[in-house]
Amino acid sequence: MNDLTPEQFFKEYEHYIRKWFQKINSKTNLLDEDEFLSSFMQKVLMENTLEKYIPGGNAVFTTWLYVVLLNHYYTLLRKVKRHTQIIFDSDELESAKGAITETKLSFLEWERENTKIDHEILESVIEDISNVKHRIVVKLKFYNVTRNSFSEDEILLMAEKSGMKKKEVCDYIDTVDKSLIGLKEKDIAFLTGLKIDSIGGTVQRCVRKVMESEYKLKELKR
């Protein structure tokens, strides 16, 4: 288990993650940096990813983090471009300080198998968010994971903010939801009337202050 809280982790490693992403993504340019960071933050916050690192184990923290990031990157990449084969040269793999070796590759499958969300609990927690706009933002951002339905009031609010009819709102969501990263921030801003640069912060606050604690509480009650 790592002693860093998610908040401390992001503060300390955001620069590292961004630099890592820029190097890896330069081979494909298929993913957006902010969208990747946002989805990885969701993963860490909701799936207790940091607790899976074991100090003194087979890898130092940065090596373990490299593999977790790579696994997440490939997961998102497969949704965007299912038939794209990405090959990294030996120099890049060497620069990962041995992260990708036959032994370390076991991290990929292990990290995937031990990353499980109870979707029923997650959907319930999202529905309990009291602020309607914030609830809509989170539903749109987690649309790929939970498929929460939208209430009549939520659809009406999105129709009002976007200038579309109610049916057009639902069609628009399905049209722009092309990956498992959730809707992009520009599309969420369009549907909610919020500023695009406030979307990421809104999601983070909802996850940290409401969803994370409520999710764990409901999980314990099961």
pLDDT digits (tens, 9 = 90+) for 97-153: 444 443 344 444 444 444 456 677 778 888 888 899 999 998 888 776 566 688 999
Distance of CA 105 to the CA centre of its chain: 22
Determine what percent of the chain is predicted with pLDDT higher than 90.
15
d(CA 176, CA 156): 19
Contact present, 143 and 136 (Cβ < 8 Å): no
**89 in Cβ contact with 48 (< 8 Å):** no
Q: Which two tokens stand for residue 220?
A: 């314990």
In the structure encoding, which two tokens stand for residue 179, read together? 């990956």
pLDDT at residue number 123? 80
**Cβ neighbour number for residue 69 with a 10 Å cutoff:** 19
Cα-Cα-Cα-Cα dihedral sign, residues 183, 184, 187, 188: positive
**Rounded to an integer, what distance in angstroms lies between the CA atom of residue 73 and that of residue 81?**
12
pTM over 0.75: no
Q: Are 144 and 179 a contacting pair, CB within 8 Å?
A: yes
